[in-house]
Amino acid sequence: MAEQLQLESGNIRIADDVVAKIAGMAAMETPGIAAMSGGLSEGWAKRLSGKNVQKGVSVEVGQLEAAIDLRIIVLYETPIHEVSRMLQQNVREAVETMTGLRVVEVNVKVEGVSFRGDDL
């Protein structure tokens, strides 16, 4: 649902899909991320490497804040804790810069490891 920000000059609405796309694009630009995961319920075959950047991204957008959940697949030999922190920072910065919303949380769930980056 698009939430509405009321300003003196009028209203601004930012749809959940817009925030999800920004978050997905920022996630795929993060080194060590092999792909976004569609989730276990959608099956391993539906994992994508960036063509549909909303896969693996769930958002809740309020009037001034956003919460983001990401499901990812990391490249083998990538320190998961480090890439996850970098991912959180990249997504937070991208969403806050582009939307003006305050990102209250970026939750990361690592759902897989890719051994070559092309086995997705």
Q: Is residue 120 part of a domain?
A: no
Q: Is residue 97 part of a domain?
A: yes
Over the chain, what is the mean pLDDT? 85
Condensed to tens digits (0 to 9), the pLDDT of residues 8-40 reads: 788 888 999 999 999 999 999 999 999 999 855
Q: Is residue 119 part of a domain?
A: no
DSSP symbols for 29-77? TSTTEEEE---GGG-GGG-BSSSSTTTTEEEEE-SSEEEEEEEEEEETT
Q: What is the mean pLDDT of residues 98-103?
A: 96
Q: Is residue 38 part of a domain?
A: yes
Residue 44: per-residue pLDDT: 42
| Share of the chain residues as helix, strand and coil, in percent rounded to the nearest 5 | 30, 35, 30
Q: Is residue 72 part of a domain?
A: yes
Domain count, the chain: 1
CATH of the domain at 31: 3.30.70.1350
In a 3-state reduction of DSSP, which class is residue 107? Answer: strand
Domain containing 103: what range? 3-114
The pTM of this model reads 0.80
Would you put residue 60 in left (φ > 0), alpha (ψ -120 to 50) or beta?
Answer: beta
